[in-house]
Structure 1
Amino acid sequence: MNARPSQAGGLREITREAVRERIAEQALILFDENGFEQTTIEDIVTAVGISSRSYFRYYASKEEAVIRDLVVGGAKLRDNVAQRLLEETPWQALHHGMRDGAEQIDARPEKWLRTMRVIYSAASLRARNLEKHLTWSALLTPLINEHLDGDPRFGDLPARTLVGRAFACLDAALASWTEANAAAPFRDAIDAAFAVRT
């Protein structure tokens, strides 16, 4: 019996995502073992068993295989924070929204340790990671701004500052957690970073 079109389309999407994940996982292993700059796309496709043409159907560059869609994760974080703002302060909502994201890291710490080692090893990846955070900040700042009072001369400065502080906490937690080789759960590192007071 033939699958209905909607079922077939869904299966194709599942298969496509499985291939994307396989490419990304193999690329990360090669980048971590041999160096990001030293590893070529030809090395990746040989390891996965696909053609270079197939690779570019899934990823536009080596960087994209490490740091994927810039908007999707940010939209999830924004929606999470928006829901939390119904009951939490802006700072609490940012903290807890980012802490929720820590669950996927703690579920697969080895994968995320490898990912962060690779990101920290290459300037192009660090730049791409910064671009991701700027994209996510642009999604969060208007939302946070709705819940803050500030000097109208400075527009959304308080919201930009608060969101910037939150991402500084996230980055510091990731760096420390990676350097410590995941000695503690990442969610604990996030909590410790957000708890710092001067």
Structure 2
Amino acid sequence: MKPAETNTERLWTRSRRAAYAEITDIAMGLFLSRGFEATTIDDIARASGISRRSFFRYFGTKEDIVLDDLVREGEEARHALEERPDSEPPWTALRNVVLSVSGPPEDGDRMLKVSKMMYETPSLRSRCIEKHLRWQDQLVPEVRRRLADGRTGDQWLDVRARSLVACAIACLDAAGEAWVRADGGVPLAELLESAFAAVGDTREP
């Protein structure tokens, strides 16, 4: 590929990312001021200075604007899990990973408002669960490897791995919902530790 073509491609990528970030910021402002369900795609397109057709070049649905970060966080969690020491039991490794990707937010007030909107909006709640299911597919292979630990012939290895990951995601969801109910008055990390400890007390493999 010629250098000029490479530079053009990089410029196009940067422009697309900038436009994506700008539309996201505008849309989130509308959601938080008007309400998610009261804000239409046409409202977002008009406020962003783009057409409705252009909107769908960046987002598949209105819900994706709020939840697309979950996909990125799933990839981060997968990489983080692969980097945890092999000496850590699977449940401990999952706990440490969830704590790392759910660290203190830069803007706690905004995150609290967004989280409230998510838990109170059925369509967002449903999409969040759907994206968390994708986390399972991303995390299960590494958990399966850790559970196997060189052993062969475990016919229940896959279901054990999926159960562990599902429990970890459920802990994350329960802690997030409790954080919202407490209006952010209790640190999210503290709630996560409590949720993981409750499960870990009865099921460390």
User: TM-score, normalized by length of structure 1?
Assistant: 0.84
1:180 match: 182
1:72 deviates by 3.9
Letter of the aligned partner of 1:48 in structure 2?
A: S
1:156 match: 158
1:133 match: 132
Letter of the aligned partner of 1:152 in structure 2?
A: D
Matched, 1:189 2:191: yes
- How far apart are the structure 1 equivalents of 2:161 and 2:39? 40
Asked whether the 8 Å contact 2:86–2:146 carries over to 1, the reply is no
Letter of the aligned partner of 1:169 in structure 2?
A: C
User: TM-score, normalized by length of structure 2?
Assistant: 0.82
Ranges of 4+ aligned residues in structure 1 off by more than 6 Å: none
Letter of the aligned partner of 1:26 in structure 2?
A: I
1:161 deviates by 1.7
1:71 deviates by 4.6
Task: Deviation per CA, 1:79-115: give whole Å up to 9, x if none.
Answer: 2101104242211111111111123x52232332232
1:38 deviates by 2.0
User: For structure 2, which runs of at least 5 residues remain unmatched after alignment?
Assistant: none
Which one of the candidate residues 153, 169, 174 is aligned to 2:171? 169
The 5 Å alignment of 1:91-170 reads: 91-103=91-103, 106-148=105-147, 152-170=154-172
- How far apart are the structure 2 equivalents of 1:48 and 1:173? 34
The 5 Å alignment of 1:49-128 reads: 49-68=49-68, 71-103=71-103, 106-128=105-127
- How far apart are the structure 2 equivalents of 1:70 and 1:186? 17
Letter of the aligned partner of 2:193 in structure 1?
A: D
1:38 match: 38
- How far apart are the structure 1 equivalents of 2:118 and 2:18? 22
Check 1:179–1:70 CA distance in 2 against 1; reply closer, same or farther (3 A cut).
closer
Check 1:138–1:9 CA distance in 2 against 1; reply closer, same or farther (3 A cut).
same
Percent identity over the alignment is 36
